[in-house]
Amino acid sequence: MKTKMTAVALAAIVAAGTAVAAVPASAATAKAAPTRCHTTDLKAGFATGDDAKPEMGRTGKQTQAFIWFTNKSNRTCTLSGFAGVDMVGAQKTDGTWSLVRSSKKPTKITLGRGDTADFSINLLPVAKSTPRKEKFVPAKFLVTPPNETTHFTLKWPFGGQILKQDGATRPGTYLNPVGQ
């Protein structure tokens, strides 16, 4: 009798346009999967340790700079994909250069409170004697976490200049996904 009454009540609810789903007690206590990290959950900066500094004096050969994101929130969150990186130049002729992405495949990284993930930027330094129109002198980087629209402004701490290839289809300066 109880089953028949439940079926009739459920049919009346569905007919009225409201659906009801039964949730097992075990599912109600399970933790929700972490959602993506938002800019407000993070802090960012350049890795400046001796082994992380780009070799800006090594002209004509690629080097790497690393930018990190640390979860400062009280929740666990995930990062997956490429950050957005715009370099702002120090010379009047530099303007802003939006870095292209590598062909590497992104992976999902889970960050607990205080955890850090980084990504690398491949750079192609040039000599100071390179003509102004052929070099880009970085001043600051506008770094947007994956799938976000708000950026961090990071001052470029390493000096040097980069071969200006902002219009190249295969530039020597590009970024890799978070975690790579």
Q: Output the pLDDT for position 30.
A: 58
Q: What is the pLDDT of residues 126-143, one digit of tens each?
A: 998 999 889 999 999 999
pLDDT greater than 80 at residue 29: no
Q: Specify the pTM.
A: 0.80
pLDDT greater than 90 at residue 26: no
Q: Which of 64-68, 129-133, 159-163 has the lowest mean pLDDT?
A: 129-133
Q: Output the pLDDT for position 126.
A: 93
Q: Is 17 helix (H, G, I), strand (E, B) or coil?
A: coil
**What's the chain's average pLDDT?**
86
